[in-house]
Structure 1
Amino acid sequence: MSKIKIELPDGTETECIHAYGLTYNAVVQKFFKDTDLKTHIEEIRDLEIRDDDIYLATFPKCGTHWVWEILVMLKRGDAEYDTREKETLFLDFKSSKEVDKSPSPRVLNCHYPSKLLPKGVLQKGTKIVHVMRNPKDAFVSYYHHHKTFKTGPLAQSFDKYLPLMTGDYGIYMFYPWFTYVKEWERFTKAHPKQILNLFYEDLKEDPVREIKKINNFLDTGRSDELVKDIAKACDFQNLKKADAEVKIKEDPKKPAGKPSPMYRKGQVGDWKNHFTVAQNEMFDEWLAENLIDTDLKFRYTL
């Protein structure tokens, strides 16, 4: 595991952890060709935020693509697919110069913890939509992500992968999952009018209901009919089809006419196909221990 220190707005420092089994030099070479990770994070924190920006915050594998499309449609006022991929405005791996070139309105999306928010998001009171997913499904999805993209030693059998996910460092390059969600919970209590917290499972259960919540939160004023059209357009299978047929791929390595491997199942409860009884008991103990000081509740089935 590697760490770098990032200075926060209050002058304190936080340690960012990289858990992909790569050195930081390897990460820099792969994602940040003209800079390093520390400099990239600092540049994103200094990103100029526009008055009509929306900020989408998610832990990896918690519905980023899905909700990004919903937000774009609500903001634009139609149920047509944007030809851009959400990665166009993905702050984790896009330079501030690239993001600056994107026309408004922008739906910025990022996996960074709340401590690493762009400063302008707080200064302007930018609306934040934060999406959470039950950790069992999120971790299973991330397991398949690492297997698909062959990301270091984490791309191994699930029984070896699970202890890595529940370790002190977790599976993300900055924080373990439980630290991430608890910090966003604290942020919500400090800035209740600025953030809308959604759950992946609620969106699956009743997308129209949840999109109406987003519509009200953003004051986009869209009709019930349009909300229903957006819910249909953003159904998992429809999004997967649109990714293959509509999206203009930025990465030349992505095959034309095929959906991104990011679209796997999009289900609630797939964790049951991976966890043994013993693993599930261990995981529940881990959750009880680490979420003892939070009010967060998660659903694992529908």
Structure 2
Amino acid sequence: MLRSGQADYHGKEDDSVMFEFFPAEMLRASPKPRIYNTHFTPQGLPKQTFDKKCKILFLQRNPKDVLVSMLPFLQGHKFLDSTIKWNEFISKYMEFEVESSLLNWFYYTREWYEFLKEGHDNIYCLSYEDMKEDPVREITKLATFLKVEDNRDLFKDIAVKCSFQNLKQAVTLKVDTSSNSNKEAAKKITNLTYRKGEVGDWKNYFTVAVNEQFDALYAKKMTGIDFKYRYSN
């Protein structure tokens, strides 16, 4: 929306331009300026990304809310058995030691931290919680990074269009719902991608004991990493 100068939804979902899903030839076919999406660590990105100093937006969210959202997402995509309950999931996750997996939040975040501390003026870091708190403020900052002309009316329109509920509705509308089966598909896609979007929903899932265990694990895994996260509004 910032690049086009209009608060209009894109015709396709963001996963239509994900590095993980498509060969380079298909991604190159998209019109310039090309905007891609990915969950890769820096090491997984094409070398040209850095040689050409492509602008990168690095978005983070506090890990507790990430994990609460991760379970239904993985189950919905059948990566995990649908019968697994939250308590079992979080216990197993805290034992997770695979250092090459993108599902390992600690590994993923450390990889980005080590890369970012080298200094990269073409990378802009932003947080989900800040976007939720004051979207116009954060959109304005992002526009400055992208060298988009200051346009407060546009930024306000984008903030409205990109609110959680409006995005959730927009996703449903992108699916042809002329049949009952398609309506169910649209509902499933929407619920997988947009669950609640709240800051601090983890408090409804983490027990006191689990929270203490997770905080201890975080302190161990993230020693020397000074990313700061907000866990409530």
- TM-score surpassing 0.5? yes
**AA matched with 1:100:** R
Separation in structure 2 between the aligned mates of residue 82 and residue 186 of structure 1, nearest angstrom:
33
Q: 2:172: which partner in 1?
A: 244
Q: 1:75: which partner in 2?
A: 3
TM-score (normalizing by structure 2): 0.89
Question: Would you say 1:228 and 2:177 are equivalent positions?
Answer: no
Separation in structure 1 between the aligned mates of residue 62 and residue 124 of structure 2, nearest angstrom:
17
Please give the secondary structure, in 1, of the residue aligned with 2:2: helix
Counterparts of residues 49-68 of structure 1 (less than 5 Å): none
Counterpart pick for 2:195 among 261, 264, 269: 264
CA deviation vs aligned residue, 1:60-98 (integer Å, no higher than 9, x gap): xxxxxxxxxxxxx11111101111111110111122222
Quickly say closer, same or farther: Cα 1:77–1:88, change in 2 above 3 A.
same
Are the counterparts in 1 of residues 175 and 182 from structure 2 also a CA contact under 8 Å? Answer: no
Shift of 1:273: 1.1
CA deviation vs aligned residue, 1:112-158 (integer Å, no higher than 9, x gap): 11111111111000000000000000000001112222323486111
Q: 1:145: which partner in 2?
A: 73
Shift of 1:183: 1.9
Counterparts of residues 1-302 of structure 1 (less than 5 Å): 73-153=1-81, 156-169=84-97, 173-174=101-102, 176-246=104-174, 255=184, 258=187, 260-261=190-191, 262-302=193-233
Shift of 1:99: 1.2
Separation in structure 2 between the aligned mates of residue 172 and residue 146 of structure 1, nearest angstrom:
18
Separation in structure 1 between the aligned mates of residue 98 and residue 63 of structure 2, nearest angstrom:
11
Please give the secondary structure, in 2, of the residue aligned with 1:109: coil
Quickly say closer, same or farther: Cα 1:157–1:93, change in 2 above 3 A.
same
After the TM superposition, which parts of structure 1 deviate over 3 Å for at least 4 consecutive aligned residues?
A: 152-155, 168-175, 246-249, 252-259
Are the counterparts in 2 of residues 84 and 248 from structure 1 also a CA contact under 8 Å? Answer: no
Count of equivalent residues: 228
Gaps of 5+ in 2: none
Quickly say closer, same or farther: Cα 1:276–1:85, change in 2 above 3 A.
same
**AA matched with 2:230:** R
Shift of 1:256: 6.1
Quickly say closer, same or farther: Cα 1:174–1:240, change in 2 above 3 A.
closer
Please give the secondary structure, in 2, of the residue aligned with 1:260: helix
TM-score (normalizing by structure 1): 0.70
**AA matched with 1:98:** M
Please give the secondary structure, in 2, of the residue aligned with 1:196: strand
Are the counterparts in 2 of residues 146 and 155 from structure 1 also a CA contact under 8 Å? Answer: no
Q: Structure 1 residues 149-158 or 168-177, which shifts more?
A: 168-177
Shift of 1:191: 3.1
**AA matched with 1:82:** H
**AA matched with 2:41:** P
Are the counterparts in 1 of residues 101 and 107 from structure 2 also a CA contact under 8 Å? Answer: no
Please give the secondary structure, in 1, of the residue aligned with 2:117: helix
Please give the secondary structure, in 2, of the residue aligned with 1:197: strand
**AA matched with 1:295:** D
Are the counterparts in 2 of residues 268 and 301 from structure 1 also a CA contact under 8 Å? Answer: yes
Tell me: higher relative CO, structure 1 or 2? Use CA pairs within 8 A at least 6 residues apart: 2
Shift of 1:219: 0.6
Q: CA RMSD in A?
A: 2.4
Please give the secondary structure, in 2, of the residue aligned with 1:239: helix
Gaps of 5+ in 1: 1-72
